[in-house]
Amino acid sequence: MKVIDPHIHMVSRTTDDYLALAYGGIHTVSEPSFWPGFDRCGVDGFRDYFQQLTVVEPARAARFKIRHFCWIGLNAKEAENTKIGEQVLAILPEYLDSPTALGIGEVGLNKNSKNEIAMFERQVELAAVRNELMLIHTPHLEDKLKGTRIIMDILRNEPRIIPSRVLIDHAEEHTIGEIKDNGFWFGLTLYPDSKGSPARAVDAIEIFGADKLCINSSADWSVSDPTATLKTVNEMRRRGHPDDLIRRIFYDNPADFLGQSPKFSVA
């Protein structure tokens, strides 16, 4: 079974993890820009990070015949420092032009604050002007429902944003229905213990269907699992779902969403 992981933070993973992806049949990945676990002290920190995403990781992945794409953006966790934020916004186009950058992401909200919203709106505007795909980070835990609604209001208020070119990630049982009703793609993220599990992801597939859905590990520097997508494939097989449905969810769907960028191709 071939799998595409559309949301994984390989900068935080070991080379052994690349090997595990290759063994497991995950030969294509996309990596959104995110928060490194600490706030960067200046725009140069972001420059180094975007260089890592657009140059270093594709080369590291290629050693294992894995194709690596990325998303460029200012994450919500660092949106409160608007001085640095403004400088980061100014350099985004330079990195969005790189041959493996698929669009703007992951951008969105964290605690649903005014500065987070302002920085998100600026990036929605940039996506509209440049006709970029968007990968959206929704807040975690108690902030998710409120934040997902604010994000969708902002996106709907920008007529140049086409919902089928936006994936709203980290969706859960209480947000999937509204995301689908608005025509956006939704992402289900698998976390080993804090949030979603393979079993609940498969429940969501059964309840909401396989349209406009991508499953991802979101593996990063915290407790996470780069092979979580494969464990969810296994959960679907255990329940008796057919291989063509599994292939559609884990391979065709992400290829369809990411393939809206002409830069994308599968390994």
Partner 1 sequence: MIKNKQQLPIPLSSSQILDMSFLENRARLLEIAAFIDRIERSADPDTGKADFRYKSFIEGVRLLLDDSAAVKTSRIQINFSDPTTEPIASAIKLKAHGAWSGETNEGY
Q: How many residues bind partner 1 (CB under 8 A)?
A: 37
Q: How far is the CB of 174 from partner 1 (least distance, A)?
A: 4
Q: How far is the CB of 86 from partner 1 (least distance, A)?
A: 17
> b/e for 80-93, b at 16 or more Cβ within 10 A?
bbeebbebbbebbe
Residue range at the interface with partner 1 (CB under 8 A); choices 29-37, 85-93, 137-145, 258-266? 137-145
154: partner contacted, choices partner 1, Zn ion, none (Cβ within 5-8 A by kind)? none
Instruction: Mark 10-49 with x for binding to Zn ion (rule: CB under 5 A) and - for no binding.
Output: ------------------------x---------------
Residue 245 within binding range of partner 1, rule CB under 8 A? yes
CB of 137 within 8 A of CB of 108?
Answer: yes
CB of 200 within 8 A of CB of 173?
Answer: yes
CB of 27 within 8 A of CB of 18?
Answer: no
Q: Give the span between the Cα atoms of 257 and 213, in whole angstroms.
A: 9
Residue range at the interface with partner 1 (CB under 8 A); choices 41-49, 91-99, 123-131, 238-246? 238-246
The residue (of 67 and 200) whose beta carbon lies closer to partner 1 is 200
216: partner contacted, choices partner 1, Zn ion, none (Cβ within 5-8 A by kind)? none
Q: How far is the CB of 259 from partner 1 (least distance, A)?
A: 23
Among 86, 94, 158, 206, binds partner 1 (CB under 8 A): 206
| Tokens read off for 163 | 């919902």
CB of 138 within 8 A of CB of 167?
Answer: no
Q: Within its chain, how far is the Cα of 10 from the centroid?
A: 12
CB of 226 within 8 A of CB of 219?
Answer: yes
Q: How far is the CB of 91 from partner 1 (least distance, A)?
A: 23
Residue 181 within binding range of partner 1, rule CB under 8 A? no
Q: How far is the CB of 24 from partner 1 (least distance, A)?
A: 23
| Tokens read off for 66 | 């894995």
Residue 37 within binding range of partner 1, rule CB under 8 A? no
Q: Would you say how long the chain is, in residues?
A: 267
Residue 237 within binding range of partner 1, rule CB under 8 A? no
| Tokens read off for 55 | 């140059």
- Strands of 176-257 (E only): list them: 185-189, 213-216
85: partner contacted, choices Zn ion, partner 1, none (Cβ within 5-8 A by kind)? none
241: partner contacted, choices Zn ion, partner 1, none (Cβ within 5-8 A by kind)? partner 1
Residue 243, helix vs strand vs coil: helix
Q: How far is the CB of 218 from partner 1 (least distance, A)?
A: 16
Residue 178 within binding range of partner 1, rule CB under 8 A? no
CA distances from 58 to 18, 42, 52, 64 (A): 11, 25, 9, 10
Q: Give the span between the Cα atoms of 46 and 34, in whole angstroms.
A: 10
The residue (of 28 and 110) whose beta carbon lies closer to partner 1 is 110
* Contact set with Zn ion (CB under 5 A): 34, 218
